[in-house]
Structure 1
Amino acid sequence: MTTTVAPRPHAGYKSAARGRFAQAANLRTGEKFLSPGRIVAIVALVVMAFAWLLPFLWAVVTSFKSETSAAATPVSWFPKDGFNVDAYTNVLREGNIPLWTWNSLLTATAITLLTLVVSSLAAYALARIDFRGRRWLFWLIIASIIVPPPVLIVPLFYEMLTLNLVDTYWAIILPQLVAPAMVFVLMKFFQQVPIELEDAARIDGAGRLRVFWSIVLPLSRPILAAVGIFVFIAAWNNFLWPFIITSDASLMTLPVGLQTVKSAYGLQYAQTMASAVLAALPLIVVFLFFQRQIIRGFSTTGFGGQ
């Protein structure tokens, strides 16, 4: 009977256990987490995170104040008369929150899905197909990124008016499908997909669309998820275009509808903050669930240093 003896480690080798925290921090074996550089980076990140969260925390605290306390000077985090939910009660009672939320969810989801289809096809054509005018089209897309959206409101409104689409869901959705920045991001990702995989599929008889659907898209799930989340957030937060193109209360999105909930006594700070918190809650939930996809997607496009 033969007995196998495992080789002993070298005398100078010291094993170090790698726990979940070390793996999450991407530490090498034996590397210390609390090095001076990491401490400075952590402190800077904590300060920036607090500076970013402070306005949101102030909005949440103000939304639970009475209107008297919210407008009182000097301002205070803790009102003398305590906290209450009157602002939320007034917003929910005076506005049609469920309908407006449904309209925002419907339009934002449709915009996200259709934008992914249009942008991914355009990005793949720019990344892989050598056609006449490709370079000029690429520079046109890059130039359109710097065009401010309000500049296009008047021609877009006349276009929707000509097509008889004013006060419809399509009027909200169609003008938001063009996303030059997302085309650029997807194109950069598609250029990093190994061309050998596509060549092998074409040798087996696959066409362009087949290669795109069966090879490129499955490898692009991280960036598609990241782009989809950013498009959804932008569509959900869009106030100006839905406000201009819709006058029917049954078609209002949540940001537009919440602005119609006003009091006869002028500006109500607590009620305004309650409206802002209600509009932001769905986006916070979406980000908490998909934050890993956002980081993973953009870390593999060339913008994350890879």
Structure 2
Amino acid sequence: MTSAQTAKRGRSRGWDFGALLLTLVTVVFAVLWAFPIYWALVTTLKPESQVIGKSLDFLPRTWTFDAYWHVLVNTQIGRWYLNSLVTSVAVTVLTLAISAATAYALSQLRFPGRKLIYYTILASFMVPIAALIVNHFILMAQFGLINNWLGVIFPQLIHPVVIIVYKNFFDSVPKEFREAAKMDSASEWRIFTRIYLPMNWGITTALAIVTFIGAWNNFLWPFLAVSRPEMMNVAVGITQVNDAFGVAYARELAGAILAALLVAVLYLIFQRRVTQAIMLSAGIKG
């Protein structure tokens, strides 16, 4: 065996060891990440007496679905699901429609104040949504929209990153398409809906999924805007799953599992689109 082959084998062994070490570290972190989810699932399948017991059981000694049955039968989770579905779909549709139209105007139209609007949208990244909560609450209260679907929906329509993502992709569309449509006397609305949007359906799908998941999981604003149990969304409603004698951990976690079930299924189905949208958003913010 030549010295070159020996050196190559040494490098290969070193690479194999490095890859093995990286794999082990990845597995350890994956287990640490997944363990709370596993523990929550196992807890929901235990009787409450076993949940609060002193023994540490990684599997239930007695399997039961009482926690899920309690949440499904004795709470308004069906109504909470409906509220979340209506508000999340409305937030998604309105956000994409407003953001796409705004991005098209900023990208393709020339009008006074265009750059000022664009820079204002960029500057809004520096303002956390939580800082606007008080203003949102005062406005919704003045409009009489507290404990109302519209009061939950309107403050969630602020998504500057969606506008920026759309604008970047509209900027990349060859100008020849717009010029040809103009020669055929197409209106701006027709150019927008028939040329620019169809060219970006993949981006629209990815942004829609991420926006829907964000609206479904949103807790802070729906918690403040709604006080009536029948108007709560599922993220807020599960906080009402309790017991007359204190916190029922199995029931609380069962409610949380049921609340996250739809989002988890959507993520598994559209994982590639979700990842694409996150990468796009991260690229814009970076």
Q: Give the TM-score, by structure 2 length.
A: 0.84
CA distance in 2, matches of 1:93, 1:169: 24
Stretch of structure 1 that moved more, 245-254 or 36-45: 36-45
Deviations 1:73-116 (A, max 9, x none): 4533124x332112112222321111111111111111111111
The DSSP-based 3-state class of the residue aligned with 1:176 is: helix
Does 2:39 align with 1:62? Answer: no
Q: How does 1:9-88 map to 2 (within 5 A)?
A: 48-73=29-54, 75-79=56-60, 81-88=61-68
Residue 207 of structure 1 deviates from its aligned partner by 2.2
1:204-230 alpha-carbon deviations (Å, 9 max, x no partner)? 221222111001110111111111111
Whether contact under 8 Å (1:189, 1:301) holds in the other structure is no
Contact 1:237–1:255 (CA under 8 A) maintained in structure 2: yes
The amino acid that maps onto 2:210 is F
Question: Can you give the 5+ residue segments of structure 2 that lack an aligned partner in the other structure?
Answer: 1-14
- Deviation by residue 1:142-172 (Cα, 9 ceiling, x = unmatched): 2222322222122111111211222211111
Contact 1:223 1:294 in 2 (8 A): no
Q: 1:201 to 1:294 in 2, by over 3 A?
A: farther
Equivalent of residue 234 in structure 2, options 243, 254, 258:
254
Equivalents in 1 of 2:58, 2:207: separation in Å?
37
Q: How is 1:236-247 mapped onto 2 (pairs within 5 angstroms)?
A: 236-247=216-227
Matches within 5 A, 1:205-224: 205-224=185-204
Is the 8 Å Cα contact of residues 45 and 250 (structure 2) preserved in structure 1?
Answer: yes
**Rounded Cα–Cα distance in structure 2 between residues aligned with 1:40 and 1:82:** 39
Quick one: percent identity of the two aligned structures? 38
CA 1:238–1:301: 2 relative to 1, 3 Å: closer
Equivalent residue number for residue 180 of structure 2: 200
1:185 aligns with 2:165: yes
1:143–1:107 distance in 2 versus 1, CA, 3 Å: same
Once the two structures are overlaid, the 10-residue window that deviates more, 274-283 or 82-91, is: 82-91
The structure 2 residue matched to 1:273, chosen from 253, 256, 264, is 253
Point out the structure with the larger helix share. 2
Q: CA deviation at 1:282?
A: 0.5
Q: How far apart, in 1, do the equivalents of 2:180 and 2:279 lie? A: 27
Aligned in 2, Cα 1:145/1:72: closer, same or farther, shift over 3 Å? Answer: farther
Aligned equivalents of 1:37 and 1:96: distance in 2? 52
SS at match of 1:220: helix
CA distance in 2, matches of 1:41, 1:188: 36
* Residues 1:121 and 2:101 aligned together: yes
Say what the alpha-carbon RMSD is for the aligned residues.
2.7
Q: Is the 8 A contact 2:107 2:170 kept in 1?
A: yes
| Structure 2 counterpart SS, 1:150 | helix
Give 1:14's aligned residue. none
How far is 1:72 from its partner?
A: 3.1
Relative to structure 1, the CA distance from residue 75 to residue 192 in structure 2 (aligned partners, 3 Å threshold; closer, same or farther) is farther
Contact 2:161 2:281 in 1 (8 A): no
Q: Residue 17 of structure 1 corresponds to which residue in structure 2? A: none
Q: 1:76 to 1:144 in 2, by over 3 A?
A: farther
Distance 1:295 1:88 in 2: 31
2:273 alignment partner, one of 293, 297, 300: 293
Residue deviations 1:189-211 (CA, integer Å, cap 9, x gap): 22222222222222222122211
Q: Which amino acid aligns with 1:252?
A: M
Query: Aligned partners of 1:193, 1:87: CA distance in 2, in Å?
Result: 53
Partner of 1:234: 214
Contact 1:87 1:271 in 2 (8 A): yes
- Between 273-282 and 180-189, report the one with greater CA deviation: 180-189
Residue of structure 1 aligned with 2:116, choices 115, 122, 136: 136
In the aligned structure 2, how far is the partner of 1:188 from the partner of 1:298?
Answer: 15
Q: SS at 2:185's partner residue?
A: coil
